Every structure is written in C-alpha cells, then in structure tokens.
Amino acid sequence: MSTRLTTGGRLLNKAKQVTFSFNGKQFTGFEGDTLASALLANDQMMMGRSFKYHRPRGVVASGAEEPNALVNMGQGGKFEPNQRATTTELYDGLTCTSQNHWPSLEFDVGVVNNYVARALPAGFYYKTFMAPAAAWKHVFEPIVRHSAGLGKAPKDRDADRYEHFYAFFDVVVVGGGVAGLMAAKAAGQAGAKVLLMEQTAHWGGRAPVDGGKVDGVKVDDFIDATVAELEAMENVTLRNRMMGAGVYDHGYILGYERLTDHAPLMEGPRHRLWRIRAKQIVTATGAIERPLSFAGNDIPGVMLASAMRDYIVNFGTSSGDRVVVVANNDDAYRTAFTLKIHGLEVPVILDARPNGGGPLADAAREQGFRVENGKGIAKVKGGKRVTSVAICAQAGEGAVLEDIACDAVAMSGGWSPVVHLWSHCGGKLIWDEAQAHFRPDPDRAPTSHDGNPFVVTAGSASGPLKLGDVLVDGQKAGEAAAQAAGFDVTSTNAPKGDVHDEAPLVPCWLMPQGAGPKLRMKAWLDYQNDVKVSDVKLAAQEGYESVEHTKRYTTLGMATDQGKLSNINGLAVLSDALNQPIPATGTTTFRPPYTPISMGAIAGEARDEVFQPLRRTPVHDWHEANGAFFEPVGHWRRPYCFPRGSESHADAVSREIRQTRDSVGLLDASTLGKIIVKGPDAGKFLNMMYTNMMSTLKVGKCRYGLMCNENGFLMDDGVVARIDEDTFLCHTTTGGAERIHGWMEDWLQCEWWDWQVYTANVTEQYAQIAVVGPNARKVIEKLGGEMDVSKEGLAFMEWKDGKIGEFDARAYRISFSGELSYEIAVPASQGRAFWDALLEAGEEFGIMPYGTEALHVMRAEKGFIMIGDETDGTVIPQDLNMQWAISKKKDDFLGKRAQMRDHMASEDRWKLAGFETEDGSVIPDGAYIVDHGTNANGQRNTQGRVTSSYYSPSLDRGIAMGLIHGGMKRLGDVVEFNKVDGSTVKAKVVDPVFYDKDGEKQNV
Amino acid sequence: MLTLQCPYCGVWAEETELHAEGEAHLKRFGPGSDDADFESYLFMRENPKGVHLERWRHASGCGKFFHAARSTTTLEVFGTYAAQTLEPPQDIKDKISAKIPNWSWREFS
Amino acid sequence: MSEAVSALNGASFEGFAKVEETGLRGMITVRGDLTSKEMAAAVKTATGAAVPVQRKVAVGGSGVVAWMSPDELLVVVDYDQAEATVVQMNEVLSGVHALVANVSDARAVFRLSGDGSRDVLAKLAPVDFAQDAFGSGGIRRSRIAQVPAAVWGNDDGSFEIICFRSVAQYVFDVLKISAQSGGEVGFH
C-alpha cells in the first residue's frame, strides 16, 4: 500500500486539506501536494495505462521526467490531456481522469494487446500496414487512428488567456537548485542583470531531500538564506513555476511561466511565454535518475529510488510498506535510510556491483539492513501492483535464488545530467566512463552571434553529483557567465558542502546481464511507448544501426517525455547489440521544448479578435452597420457586396452594377496603395519602375502604368498622377502598397543610390471614394464647393485639388468601370463624413454603394485586366495585348531584358482574348480550354485557360477573359472549356471588351 | 532566431523585425547583356555551407536595406554593413579571414 | 473643413496600466539630408527644436521631432497646424532635395501610462524596455504584436505608440489585453 505517513512532508501544509477527483472518485490531499503524491497518499498507485500494450502503469518518477502518470486534466474549456501528475500542483476542486484505457482504468479492453505483445514487436506497424494500397483507407488508417495519440483532444475552446513577454538579461540561470542559486548569486554579485528561473514552486532542487550541510548549517537553511540574499539584489529576478523550455540561436531562450495552473481561479493569464535574449545562459538543470532494465520493471510499485525518497521527505507519502531497493550505485542507499527512518521496511538491498558499495553500504549493514552484493532482480511479480521480486545473480542468466515478498521496488541505475538545454543549440557531449553518462563537453559549447560560447552548465548538469562539488561548480559557472557577459569578476570561494566518499558506480544496462529473450521481452526501456530491451535488440538485428533510425523504428524516446528516462538505457542496449562502445552510438537529437508547453502559450495574445490584424478603412463602420459581406484582401476587409434583406449575394452584385451603370454608385477605394515619389530624378526612376514612359507625363495628368519584375512578369498596376515637376503619386493595387513601396526603396537604396528620389507611402492618409455612373458629376456638383468637375474643367485622365463641398479633396478623373467616374481622395479623418455627404447628395439618384465583386464584373465587362486574375506571376504584358503600355523609346526598364528572351517573345505563348459561351452560361473559374490528344501522362492536352469569368448583368450572359494559344488571332473560333462534371462547354473567341467598346460612356 | 545590428539605426533587431532579401552584391544585367550574364543575374545563387553574404531589410524598423556577412553553419555574424557598396568592407573580410582562413564567396575572399 | 475624426474617437481602457487614444495629431514625414542647414532651419521653424540624433526625440516650443532613419524625420505638431507646417517647411527647403508629406490622417496614436506601462509594452514588442535601455526622449520603431509601430518615452514616464490608422483597433485591442488586470508582471 502507498499511504500518507505521519512523518515527512516538508512541502505540505497539513492545516489545509483540499479535495480533488480522479476518474470520478473524490479524494483528499493537502496544500503543497502534487497530484501524484496525493494519489499515492490515497493508495492510487496505478495512474494510467501504457500506449501500445495498455499495461497498468504507476508513477515512476517525481518530476518532469515522469513517463506514466499522465492525466486528462480539467473539463470543458479548461480540458487538457497528457498532464503529468508529478508536476501538477494540487488545488481544491482539481478534476482529472486517467488516459489510454477503455472502458475503465481497472478494466481495459485494449490490454488484449498485452497478451499478443509477442505479435506486436518493434516496427509492427511498418511491417503490417503495407499492401494492398486499398486497405489503407478502410482498414489500416481507422486502426491507426483509433490507437494513435495519448489522452483525448480538447473539444472546447480554450477558456484561458495567454501572453508573451520579451525580456533581456546579461545572465539567465535555468534551474533553482543549489547550483543555480550559487550561479545566480555569483553572476549577480558581479553586477550582471540576472534571471533565475525554476520550474517547480520551490527553491533548492533535490538538496533538501538528499540532505547534507553547507558551511556547517543544514542545506535547507543555506537555501533559504541564499534565496533571501538573491531577493535582496536589485539586479536579480527570481521566477519559480517557470521552465527553461528551449535554447535557440544568438542567446534566445524561452521561459515557460505557469501562472495559474496551481490556482485556476486566480485572475490573469494562465501561461506566459518569456521570449528572452541573454548574453549568457547557465543551465543548472540537475540530473535525472535512470531506471534499471529488469523483467517487470514497469509494474506499478516499481519506482526510481530518488522519487520514492522525494515522496516521503517532500510529501510525507509512502510508496509501499515493504520496499526492495535495487541499485548499481551508492546513492540508492539513501532511499533505504529514508524508508527506515520513516518506519517502512526494507527486506533487502540488492547491489548489482560484485564488490558492493562504499561507506554508505557499510553504514547500511551497521544499521541492520540485509545487503546483497552482485545480486539483482530476475523478475518482478504482480499485475496491477508489485507482489514480490525474484532475486538472482547479476552475472547470471536469471536463475531465481529467492522470492522476496514486497509491494514496491526502488531502483537506481545511476544519474544522467539533464543536457537538453545545453544541446538544443549545438552543445556537444562527452561520455563519462566513471559515471556512465553523457555530460556536456565544456570545450564544445554552443556559440552565439560573435562566435563565442553562450551556454555554461552548472552543478549536476555538468556531471558532479556531490553537494560540495555542485556548489563549487555552480559558483564557477555563475562567475564564468558574468565574465563572458562583460563583467569584472573577483573570484571567491564557494561555500563548503559535504563531499562524501562513495564507491564508484558499475554500469548495469540489463539485469541480469545474461537475461534471455523471455526476460528481455518484459524489461522495459521506454515506459510510455512500450519499448523493451527485446525491441531495441530486434531493431539492431534488422539493420537499424543509427540511433536516430532505431528511435523512429522502435519509438524509443518519442513520447511526451522524449526519453528522459529511457534514452541512455536504450543507447546502451543498442550499443551492446551492435557490439560497439556507447559513445560510438551517440545520442538522438535533443529538441525543444524540454517538456511540452501549451499551444496557448505559443499563440500568446494572437487569438479570437486579434488572431490577425484586420485593416479597416475610415468607412469600415458604415459598411459593417449596413450589412456588408466582407472579403479579405490582404489584411484589409473590403465589402464584397451589400446584400439587402434576404437578397442573395449574386442578386446584390447585379443590383449594384445595374444601378451604377444606370445612375450612380459609390466604391470605397481607400485601400488602394498611394506612394509619393519625389525628387529631381523621380521621372527617370519611374521610367525604370514602369513599362510606360512616366517622365513625359504632364503635371495635372494621370497615366495608367504597368510594373514588371526583373523576370519580365507583371507584378502590379495602377494610375500615376504627376503632382508637380518633381512629384508623382503612384497608385498600387490594394495588396501591393507595402510591397511596391519596399520594391521602390530596394532599387533606390541598393542599386541607384546616387539618384535623387525620395518615396513616402501615404496610402492611409486618404479615404478614397469612387463616384461612378452617368449621374456621378451631378452628385459631386450637388455637394458644391469650388472645384470645377465639368467635362472641360476636369477632363478624362486629369486630376485636381480643391474643395468639394466643405471637404479638402483631390479628384482623379479615372475609370475602372467604363462609366463617368471620379476617384476622390479626402483626408482619412474626414472620410466617413465625405461618404455620408455623398450618400445624401446622391439620394435623389438612387445612389448605392457597390462592393469588390461589382467592381470586378464591371472591369471585366470593359476588358480591363486585374492583377492576380489575368496575371499569376508568369504573365508578361505582351500576353495581355498591352504593348501599348510598353514604351519603345526607353532603353531600359525593370523586366525589359527578360521580355527579350526567346521564350517570352515566342508566338506560342497563350495570349488574352474574350470568350462567350454559346449557351450564355458562365464558364467555371479555373477552366482549361481543351485540345486534341493527350500528353505523356495521359492527360488531355490544353490550349488555354480562363482568367476571369462572370455573369454580366449588363449583357445578361456569361462573359470571360482567358489566355489562349494564338490569342486574338483566334477571333471567331469556337473552343471548349472543361467543366467540373467532366463535360465541356463551347465558347466563341471574341474581343475582350464586352461593353461600350468605343469608350463613350466614360468620356462625357 | 538570429539578431542582426542594423547599420543605419543601430538597433539590435531580432529576426521578426527583419526581412530576408536574398543574396548580396548581385550585379544587374539589363538590355544589351548576353544571355549567360542575364541568366546568372536572374537565377544563379550561392548556397554555401559557411560564409554567406546576404541582404536584409529592417522592415519593422527604420526600413533600410543592409548587408550581413554570416556563417550559415554556426550563425556567427561577422558584421553588417551598408547597402550602398559593391563589395564587403575590408574590416569585415578581415574578420572572416581571422575565423575562416582561405574562405571565398563568389569573387570575394 | 469637415470635422476630423480620429480612428477610434478617443477610446480608452484602464487595467494595470492606462491606454488612451490621444486623438488626432499633426504628423509630417520629412525625408532629406538631416545634416543640412536647410533641414535644421526647417525643423526649427516647424517645431522650435533641433534635428534629433539617432533614435531620439527632440521637443521644441511648437512641436516635437523624432528621428526615424538616417534620412527621415517625423514632425509632430497640432493637428490643425499640419498643412501650414508642410507649406512652411517646403518653403524653407525649397531648392534642396527633400520630401515633406502630411501623414496626420494615416496614423493613430495611443498613450500608455501607469507603473505597468513598460511591462505592457514588453508583452508586445521585441524590445528591451528596461529603464536603462529605453528612457524618455528615445524612440524605437518596431512592431506591436503583428503590425509596425513606433514607441517613444515621455518625460512623465508615459509612452506614445504610433501605428497606422487602419490597424488602430487591433493595436488598441492588444494593448488592452496586455494591460488587463491579473496580467501584471512586476518586472520593469
């Protein structure tokens, strides 16, 4: 039984009982418990089932490395799967369920996998789900989907809020154990701006559990005093419940702060992701104990020796009444002592080393423990709980010497430094033969922007495990980091901590070392993913020699714990199978984050309304209030149409077009890009930017221009107005404003930096409203003001500044619809008022706003091209019959050279024409013009494609523009466009100008 | 995520404030150039393992384009420099040589 | 002239810091040779201040001028003075190569005040807002969450945030979210 003890529990507040529920059952615990310790205290050792075989699983560890005790936490909008019970602080009202079982934790159908485990070896899925291909959809995929994934995916919207926080430090110390405290203090004393973060709620790490003295005082008191000292230092920031999630290039480090996980009713963000730049990073991330690989090492009740100690000292919780201790090192003896002090029984300590342990072992014998040298566990017996262990000689093959009844096993296979953060950005490791672990190689640290190392390890994360050594290493690391960050350091002596004599560890990768296949099949390496010694051996046998391949083939170390427990043992088994030393096998890659972090924290504030910035025009509120149906254009939202009542979008578009063509319509064109280009060389510059000759444009006039990239392809278009001798105003497409401004700056800054030209993007300075239709002039004249907008006063393709009504306006007499049209720019802050004034003035003409779809249809009726419809990044102006817009007088413009290339000048290019279906229907968007025969892939040959296709209300029929082999030479031909249903529709090649071919309507 | 110092406004900007603008020191070939030169201007790019000269723009910042010399393997930045130059400045070339003797990148070494 | 309305019409929010849209400002983009005597004269005429040095803001009797890039300044005056200031500066700069453009309507301005202001900013911009790194009189162009913005520090410890008018609502919203009570960081 695991139970609450009357002793121990230094982190508990026994005065404060809390209630929580696990699988619907109510339990109690104390403030200060973790979920794992509280479950243990309630004798709930079994906390989940494994991924593949659905074997019963209990808690193994006490921290971030826990592979088994994962739960579905919370409900509704606070539901989250795969939460580690060992790192979840208990709070009143906590609700959770165990994972990976059906219908219940105690009785699980999926456990049948366990009984056929022999048939589910490594690579089972790869080997099985091969052929026939048809089986994928109906058989394999459903099976894989059903069995994939731990926990449940949340169904509700996340009810919490999250945020980011940018911070800058000289030195960031990760890990608030004694090494981290020492490092932070040393760096802080040197004057560095320091952040010390600790993933748990407590300072000091394992030291209070392991005990010992520092400068003659209890280590607990030393920790308290050091924390107090750090808190008093203005240049040091301390943050607990904050994990160093990842180390990245140039001193970038992510701190994952969990603000309300321990108190979900607290106001404020749940997680805060600190995006930190540090000159130096100290990783004082400690070490993790390794399990031992013996048969049945996954049965609930088998735990890490250190974890068992943690549960007693920190949480006053036993893991069992009779505990067998099995180890290959001296540290596990401390667990035996702790168990005894707290009144629990240790029937035997199995020391796998032939010559046993050092002074701690001697002390154990003196205290009356039964210690067996050179012995190990042949097999743990039990199902949902350990019932006994069979002991054997470590050197043998597992012949049982004795059966010892017990309800828990404390195992220790030695310690591995937590090297993740060191390794994330390229820090290299060396194999330490004596400790049998990989540790950071200080000579091969990750390097930063200046080529110098920026990560230092401290304490157990460097290798040393003894208190005194850890303190010295922590101090050294803090000093080194401060110095590297540019501070003067006067080195001082670290406080003196205990350095007990210990006998060396003897590596023990399989127990017993000669274990046969039957035992190996029950010796777990990766608890979460059900990878056993036998699987890794099989992978090696099948040729998976690279550790990275073996990982993927067996799934060793691929689960949410990323092999924190299993890695080294797995590598050792693989090395043994390959008959090569461990360093030759190497490790898999350590990738951030250290433990999984929430998706919410990654998104930060970017959700809901502010998921993405929305750009709104000065008239946006009116559009919204008047039922506009919006479409996104870049980050802008533009009205697509303004449906009235139950009107369909198509009907609304037709109404808007008819009203505009018959009387007058309004378009909010504020989103069009507007760039001022000014300087003595502005004309020369625009001659390069546009295919047209812009330098000859007269002041007061407008010219439509095309822009190409250096590949010759069309990239933007718009109307250019010459404001004065030195100044032009260039209009761009809505999506093009920032891009084209950057494009201009690129050429000015990087190529023609001696040309005297300045640009300014003034897109948002103006609300620009197009007043369009036969009655447009009357509406504007009705507003009054001094501006003469008559046919003569403001001729087609002219612009003018002046007052329209009470508004400061600039009117452009340009048309994208073929109608009499004025585009009028007023200061943005008067835009809404101007819009309202136009609506009022136009009331007698039945004025109505139109949206982007009406704009598109009207321009298509006139055969005007649209960037993004007629162009797709592979179309040159010549393809669109726009030779008229390409100056022949200019020696050079961007794209000219490319347009001279053979392929660009080829007669075989598809060119623009208009199309009318014989039946008047609308050609589907994206349709191709089919041709005779098939290509090499057996696909129908094509000879062109549609680029714009609409129902034209003005003509009451479908109209289209498209690119066709031969272009306008094909006038009168009848071609076939394919349709979605596989049939085709016949269409005649026609002039793309469908409406008012002579342009009379715009010239009134 | 790298940081570069903008040589124009002096800010140490992180990558989210910057925009990568491709290879540095391209020589433009326009009308009149032969096909081979034009092809190399348009399409041929370096893909080095090691020293690379690039263009960046301080897009969410002062808006200026600049050059950076860095290592594509270690991400060491040897320096950033103005856009208005046809070749990397000598002090940056020296800095690269100090770290990587015998380096070369296109015509520079 | 019709009544001019700022993007959010003076919206405000008070959390652990206070966010207010300041209303319309006269803002003028000036590009040119910042070292020329004509530029110095133009800036002096417009604001009463001298041309600021790199990433600084200079305050004069009739306006403020901020360094935006080696060839760009932002002149801030009263909204109704903007057009006149443009004319005035153009006169002083006549004959030299320069660009002066009224951008008053293209912008929205927020004031952020209160003890937590630096923490609010640090949630949204990849900039060191520590007192010793960014003080009053400094300007930093960067981004606020996903959009470009400029921030400068006032003498009273408050900050001004300038962004494009079209994203005023977005910037106000992210400032509001970041200043919500419960989100105090207590760092700066």
How close is the nearest chain C Cα to the Cα of B89, in Å? 20
Q: Among A363-377, A555-569, A857-871, B59-73, which stretch is predicted with the lowest mean pLDDT? A: A555-569
Regarding whether A978 and A872 lie in a shared domain, the answer is yes
Regarding whether A733 and A813 lie in a shared domain, the answer is yes
At A841-861, the pLDDT tens digits run 999 999 999 999 999 999 999
Residue A131 has pLDDT above 70, yes or no: no
Q: Select from C169, C170, C185 the Cβ nearest to the Cβ of A165.
A: C185
Contact A463, A435 (CB under 8 A): yes
pTM (predicted TM-score): 0.95
Tokens 């005093």, residue located: A225
Chains that contact B by 3+ CB pairs under 8 Å? A, C
Please report, as a single letter, which amino acid is at residue A156.
Answer: D
Measured between alpha carbons, how far is A188 from B32 in angstroms, rounded to an integer? 65
At C98-138, the pLDDT tens digits run 999 999 999 999 999 999 999 999 999 999 999 999 989 99
Residue A837 has pLDDT above 80, yes or no: yes
At B26-82, the pLDDT tens digits run 999 999 999 999 999 999 999 999 999 999 999 999 999 999 999 999 999 999 999
For C:36-75, CB contacts with A below 8 A are 71
Contact A87, A199 (CB under 8 A): yes
Q: Does C183 sit within 8 Å of A268, measured CB to CB? A: yes
pLDDT computed for residue A99 by the predictor = 84
Q: Among the three residues A384, A413, A442, which one is the final residue of a domain in this structure? A: A413
Regarding whether A120 and A31 lie in a shared domain, the answer is yes
**A763 lies within 8 A of chain C by CB:** yes
Percentage of chain A with pLDDT > 90?
89
Measured between alpha carbons, how far is A643 from A20 in angstroms, rounded to an integer? 54
Tokens of A199: 């993933």
Q: Where are the domains of chain C?
A: 26-105, 106-179
Cα separation values, A374 from A346, A379, A655, Å: 18, 16, 93
Tell me whether residue A612 is in a domain. Answer: no
For residues A582-591, give the mean pLDDT. Answer: 91
Task: Choose which CATH entry (3.20.20.70, 3.30.1360.120, 3.30.390.50, 3.30.930.10) describes domain C106-179.
Answer: 3.30.1360.120
Regarding whether A282 and A329 lie in a shared domain, the answer is no
Q: Among A141-155, A855-869, A957-971, which stretch is predicted with the lowest mean pLDDT? A: A141-155
How close is the nearest chain A Cα to the Cα of C48, in Å? 24
Cα separation values, C99 from A789, A879, B37, B61, Å: 29, 37, 37, 20
Q: Does C97 sit within 8 Å of A756, measured CB to CB? A: yes
Q: Among the three residues A95, A124, A155, which one is the final residue of a domain in this structure? A: A155
For residues A189-196, give the mean pLDDT. Answer: 98
Chains that contact C by 3+ CB pairs under 8 Å? A, B
Measured between alpha carbons, how far is B24 from A936 in angstroms, rounded to an integer? 41
Measured between alpha carbons, how far is A48 from A726 in angstroms, rounded to an integer? 76
C143 to chain B: which residues are within 8 Å by CB? 16-17, 60
Give chain C's largest Cα–Cα span.
Answer: 57
Residues of B with CB under 8 A from a CB of A: 1-3, 14, 21, 28-33, 35, 38, 41-42, 55, 57, 59, 63-65, 74-77, 83-84, 99
Measured between alpha carbons, how far is A256 from A243 in angstroms, rounded to an integer? 5
Cα separation values, A424 from A272, A453, A703, Å: 21, 13, 56
Query: How many CB atoms are closer than 10 A to CB A466?
Result: 18
The domain made up of C26-105 has a fold known as Alpha-Beta Plaits (3.30.70)
Residue A877 has pLDDT above 70, yes or no: yes
At A300-327, the pLDDT tens digits run 999 999 999 999 999 999 999 999 999 9
Contact A486, A279 (CB under 8 A): yes
Report which DSSP code applies to C52. Answer: P
Tokens 């000065």, residue located: A618
Regarding whether A530 and A473 lie in a shared domain, the answer is no
Tell me whether residue A399 is in a domain. Answer: yes
Measured between alpha carbons, how far is C104 from C107 in angstroms, rounded to an integer? 6
Regarding whether A983 and A873 lie in a shared domain, the answer is yes
Measured between alpha carbons, how far is A874 from A177 in angstroms, rounded to an integer? 61
Q: Select from A252, A449, A710 the Cβ nearest to the Cβ of B77.
A: A449
Q: Select from A636, A678, A762 the Cβ nearest to the Cβ of C103.
A: A762
Tokens of C30: 């000036």
Q: Select from A749, A898, A900 the Cβ nearest to the Cβ of B64.
A: A749
Nearest CA in chain A to B31: A897
pLDDT computed for residue A107 by the predictor = 72
At B1-19, the pLDDT tens digits run 899 999 999 999 999 999 9
Complex ipTM > 0.85: yes
Regarding whether A324 and A284 lie in a shared domain, the answer is no
Regarding whether A320 and A265 lie in a shared domain, the answer is no
pLDDT computed for residue A127 by the predictor = 67
Q: Does A750 sit within 8 Å of B75, measured CB to CB? A: no
* Beta-bridge mates of residue B49: none
* Beta-bridge mates of residue A391: A377, A402
Among A605, A617, A621, A681, which would you mutate to test the C interface (most chain C Cβ atoms within 10 Å of its Cβ)?
A: A605
Confidence band for A171, pLDDT divided at 50, 70 and 90:
very high
Residue A118 has pLDDT above 80, yes or no: no
Contact A57, A46 (CB under 8 A): yes
The tally of domains found in chain B comes to 1
Tokens of A222: 């030393």
Report which DSSP code applies to A158. Answer: P
Q: Average pLDDT, whole number, for chain A?
A: 94
Coil, strand, or helix at residue C63? coil
pLDDT computed for residue A222 by the predictor = 98
Tell me whether residue B37 is in a domain. Answer: yes
A900 to chain B: which residues are within 8 Å by CB? 31
CATH number at residue A678: 3.30.1360.120
Tell me whether residue A743 is in a domain. Answer: yes
A751 to chain B: which residues are within 8 Å by CB? 28
Name, in order, each residue with C-beta under 8 angstroms of C90's C-beta and a sequence gap of 6 or more: C100
For residues A462-476, give the mean pLDDT. Answer: 97
* A875: containing domain: 862-1002
Tokens of A525: 């390496």
Q: Among the three residues A413, A432, A455, which one is the final residue of a domain in this structure? A: A413
**C106-179: same fold as C26-105?**
no
Measured between alpha carbons, how far is C32 from C96 in angstroms, rounded to an integer? 8
pLDDT computed for residue A145 by the predictor = 62
CATH number at residue B54: 3.30.2270.10
Regarding whether A852 and A723 lie in a shared domain, the answer is yes
At A472-530, the pLDDT tens digits run 999 999 999 999 999 999 988 999 999 989 999 999 999 999 999 999 999 999 998 88
Residue C1: is it exposed, middle or buried by C-beta count within 10 angstroms (0-12/13-18/19+)? middle
Contact A100, A113 (CB under 8 A): no
At A903-943, the pLDDT tens digits run 999 999 999 999 999 999 999 999 999 999 999 999 999 99
Chains that contact A by 3+ CB pairs under 8 Å? B, C
Nearest CA in chain B to C145: B16
Please report, as a single letter, which amino acid is at residue A51.
Answer: F
Q: Select from B28, B75, B83 the Cβ nearest to the Cβ of A449.
A: B75
Query: How many CB atoms are closer than 10 A to CB A315?
Result: 27
Low-confidence ranges of chain C (pLDDT < 70): 1
CATH number at residue A273: 3.50.50.60
Contact A485, A192 (CB under 8 A): yes
The tally of domains found in chain A comes to 6
- The dihedrals phi and psi of C84, each to the nearest 5 degrees, come to -65, -40
Nearest-CA neighbor of A466 among A331, A360, A292, A304? A331
Tell me whether residue A630 is in a domain. Answer: no
Measured between alpha carbons, how far is A536 from A551 in angstroms, rounded to an integer? 9
**C143 lies within 8 A of chain B by CB:** yes
pLDDT computed for residue A48 by the predictor = 87
* B8: containing domain: 3-99
Q: What order do you get walking across the sheet with A727-732 strand by strand?
A: A702-708, A714-724, A727-732, A673-678, A758-761
Tokens 């930060």, residue located: A604
